[in-house]
Amino acid sequence: MDFFESKESLTSMEWILRAIVSFVFLLLAAKFMGQRSISQLRFLDFIIALTLGNIIAHPLSDEKLGLKGSMITTIVLVVLYIAATWLSLKWPFFKRYLDPSPVTLVKNGLIQFHNLSKARISIDFLFSELRKEKVEDIQKVALAVWEPGGTISVFMDTPYQPVTPADMKLETKPFTISRPIIVDGVIDMSLLQDMGKDVDWLHSQIASVHTNIHDVMLATVENENVQVCSVPKK
């Protein structure tokens, strides 16, 4: 465990061990912080990501810095991150500081120039984001807001919104989704259990292709209908 401590020099194996331990430790820390910290970088998430990256990076490049101190500091920061997230749910003032309210950029087809300065974005950037949403005429936009996560939410005015089956009062089929149930010959047992089915049922569903489950590269299921998508050629 000498690779944990600061030393004048580290052997190649000690560098490898230090990298492996840091990698696993960061995986555990990220998992402990939750999905939000990796799905969107808001103010608090950006600060914690920037800080943790620097703390762990230094011992991986400087043998004179011990790994133990960096890990202790990381644990403290993770606890503080979780505490700050919890407090933001309890204290509205703290929440507004960490996650400020959305800023209106376009309203009824008119650009809110004073809010562009508040959000610190340019008109060119605004139009670039509108083009990503397939908006060719800003006057068709009923509302566009700058979200705390750094994205722009765009809502088209009602005359320019796509017509849906509900608008046409048409009958529709229930929503379904195709999900992979076999990948590289391995069955997704949790999906099978959610469906209330067993392996024998799955065998019967793919019997028509005359193949073994372990030979199936990909099979999907939709409304209890199993479709074998890929079987390796013999």
Using only C-alpha atoms, what is the Rg of the chain? 26
Element (H, E) at 103: strand 103-107
**Domains of the chain, CATH where assigned:** 2-95 (no CATH), 103-160 (3.30.240.20), 179-230 (3.30.240.20)
Q: Which of 116, 120, 43 is nearest to 84 (CA)?
A: 43
Distance CA 76, CA 61 (A): 22
- Low-confidence residues of the chain: pLDDT under 70: 1-10, 15, 18-19, 23, 26-27, 29-44, 46, 50, 60-63, 65-67, 209-211, 230-234
The CA-CA-CA angle for residues 112, 115, 119, to 5°, reads 135
Residues 107-117 have pLDDT tens digits of 999 999 999 98
Residues 17-39 have pLDDT tens digits of 766 777 677 667 666 655 444 44
pLDDT of residue 128: 92
